[in-house]
Structure 1
Amino acid sequence: MISYSLRDIQNYKPEFAQNSCSSASSFVMQGYGRAADNWADEESALDIIATPTGIAMAGWMSTESHGLRMALWHVNQYGALSLFGEYGNDQTHQIAASLALSSTGQSLLVGRQTDTYSDEYRSSLNTGDLALIKYIDTDGGELWSDLLDSTDTDTSEVAVDVFNAGNNEFVILINRLYSENNNQDFRVIKIESNSNVLWDKKNSFTYSGSKQKV
């Protein structure tokens, strides 16, 4: 099993990013399109991180028959695609906005499940959006998936960022839209790699009409 320390994950810079670009041999340019039909299908990467073996990116892949699905790309230090996966269903759009890497190489994708989406709305919330988390194994298989439900009524949520906090724990930032007045605030959750929630905090004002967004 691959094992990385938190320092490895946070501080690693891929070889192709460290090398000087003074010669053609030290510069990598590579396309990673995985859409089956270039005319009907689209894809977009919304986040990128360094990994001990290269880089990883998260975003979405569209197909005409299945809508938008979460997508994950892993690229090695030479710029070659080493892993690709898409994850979703046939009923809704599922978008990965951010990702983090575990100490054993699994990828945590966070984002949203929504009925309507395009990248121009990536910082916006739609009524009915749900924050979505997926944990992906080193071979690209989906280990678990969780829609973060809220105890509040009339609440929409989207996960916008995540980081590895060490000890196989992750901190996730969520923007929220709540109440019939469409007020905004945010929520921070700390989870373990098995999806167990360690703590869950909401940050909001108590008076009507207030808005917060990060």
Structure 2
Amino acid sequence: MKDKFGFVNFTISSGIKNWIKLFYLLTIKLTKNKKYYKPPKSPHLLRFVSSLCLILVFGLQQTPAVAQVTQAKVVEILGGNHVYIQNQPVQINAIATLGQTITTKQARVNLQFNNDAGVRLGQNSAITVGSRCARVRNGKALVYGIQGCVNSIVATTRGTVYLMELNEMGQGQIKVISGAIELRKRYSFLSSESVGVNRGEKIDIHSDGDLAESRCFSREEIEQIIQGELFEGFQTEISGL
């Protein structure tokens, strides 16, 4: 079926569709007004520009949608009450909103996001609630169901449970416990380059955001994780494990 503009009703978002309509209407209006429009010497140039615009529009449409995150709720605290939101001590059921940072000292915490994803923080760790990712500021975070950020790197998940670490020198590491992730640099919208990391693999992230080669981690390492501070004592189950 076609709408009043003559467009076939493709299954695309209304925002992208409106951009296409706007581009179409402006093109028609300008080409009819000889005061502002002079036909190009080569018709191939006009076709090329039009095709390029459509490619950019549909390329943006094909970008995977990410559930919007607006807040994180403290659902478990272990090892004391040294959990803070914006440097203010908090208890269970406290909520961190967009842009706020949750910090631990001699405590561990389990956070539940509004999109049913979650993060567990180890001792002396910090994470900021972002609209598109949970950004690790320092320490250790077990992440599931949400994108995570370390330095300038974004981890896009696919049914994944993974461990993110960032030390005081700004060097990070990601270990994939379940599923797989794709790593790319933040704000690199015009680049499709990404690095895949699968279950049982780890990858180092340098302070400047450069990635090392991924490699397998040992059975001893996975046992240390499962028996370590990000699992021991927590009652909330993690989907995917």
Superposed pair shares fold, TM > 0.5: no
TM-score category, normalised to shorter length: 0.3 to 0.5
TM-score (norm 1): 0.33
TM-score (norm 2): 0.30
Judging by fraction of residues, say which structure has more helix.
2
Larger radius of gyration: 2
